[in-house]
Amino acid sequence: MDLSLFLDLRARQAAPPTPAEFEEAVQLVQAADRLGFHSVWTTEQHGVDDGYLPAQIAVLAAFARETKRLRLGTGVILLPLTHPRRVLEEACVVDVISHGRLTLGLGAGNYPNEFRIFGVSMAERSRRMEEGVAFIKAGLSGGLLPDGSWVNVPPVQRPIPLVLGGLVEAAIDRAARLADGHFAYSFSDPEAQLGAMYERRIAPALERHGRSAKDFHLMFASVIWASDTPERDWREVVGPAFAYQQRKYEEWEGGAATAGGYAFTGEPEDIRRGLFVGRSEDVAERLLGLRERYPFDEIVFWTRLPGVPFGLALDHLERLSEEVLPRVRNA
């Protein structure tokens, strides 16, 4: 089991990041590289007012030059909103810059405003995703693409690993059918939600397409906060930052049918108990317990929720590397 970072580059609430705050993100990634974490994953949103990262490949190229061994992942690029050749060409360049450390994560997207501002109909989402993934898969090792032209810069990895995100049945089936892994998320009750998702959707999809969990990479994003004083940290810092994050997701959905996995309602203390917030040994034991129901390979944790001070986020990385990472890796 590996632990990896998740970053959206928001340091504060309701304010775009400054150059100094971008530099703090680089320092977090450098620390993760030194401390033995597996990957750094970025994420994206478009047309929002608080500085959420819109350009993953650009940031991962910067991270590639500041690290030596940490893998780099897009979690996930919203493929229906862009041309698949653009995604593939930029991914291959980052793979070369990083000496072969990229994992390409793609997803279909779910927020109506993003489709509106890119001039794409949500009714075309599934078709564009299927066609785009097929196009990109043809070039993950370089070579000639379906449009008859070459990949300009072939990647180092042959092929670049491909994972697909999403919680709904169609997205999970697509991942089992076309990709090397699946990227899930749960921000309310990962132990219950992800265990049930594996049993009801992932395992049947893998069986349907002749795949095995042993050679199919399973990962999920959630919140980990290990502390000697988890209740106080949640009440004073982490909880308010998490509440802001979830409010923004709800706002961006704009009344559309939710894909699930969020914590829009509930008492703060109940939400804390559902997430991996606690003392280090308890967090590690709960992760190991979840893995018995949902055989994931990697948990991608929010490294700095909006409003968490930089120093506290950096100290938390140190604690995880000393007290949680050895427990889960040794097990």
Res. 331 pLDDT band, cuts 50 70 90: confident
CA atoms within 13 Å, Cβ hemisphere of 210: 0
Q: For the residues 29-46, what does the mean pLDDT come to?
A: 98
- The closest of 187, 266, 242, 276 to 1, measured between CA atoms, is 276
Encoded tokens for 238: 């982490």
Q: What are phi and psi of 39, to 5 degrees?
A: -145, 165
First to last CA, the chain: 8
Is the confidence at residue 260, as pLDDT, over 90? no
For residues 264 and 133, give the distance between their C-alpha atoms in angstroms, rounded to a whole number. 31
pTM: 0.97
Share above pLDDT 90 across residues of the chain, in percent, rounded to a whole number: 94
Give how far Cα 296 sits from Cα of 98, 176, 182, 276, 314, Å. 25, 14, 10, 15, 25
Domains of the chain: 2-330 (3.20.20.30)
- Chain-centroid distance of CA 33 in Å reads 17
For residues 210 and 217, give the distance between their C-alpha atoms in angstroms, rounded to a whole number. 15
For residues 1 and 328, give the distance between their C-alpha atoms in angstroms, rounded to a whole number. 6
**Contact between residue 158 and residue 100 where contact means Cβ atoms under 8 Å apart:** no
Q: What are phi and psi of 181, to 5 degrees?
A: -175, 175
- Predicted confidence (pLDDT) per residue in 175-223, tens digit: 999 999 999 999 999 999 999 999 999 999 999 999 999 999 999 999 9
- Predicted confidence (pLDDT) per residue in 219-243, tens digit: 999 999 999 999 999 999 999 999 9
**What local confidence, expressed as pLDDT, does residue 259 receive?**
81
Q: What are phi and psi of 213, to 5 degrees?
A: -60, -20
Residues 6+ positions from 40 with CB-CB distance below 8 Å: 4, 5, 6, 7, 29, 32, 60, 63, 67, 70, 71, 72, 73
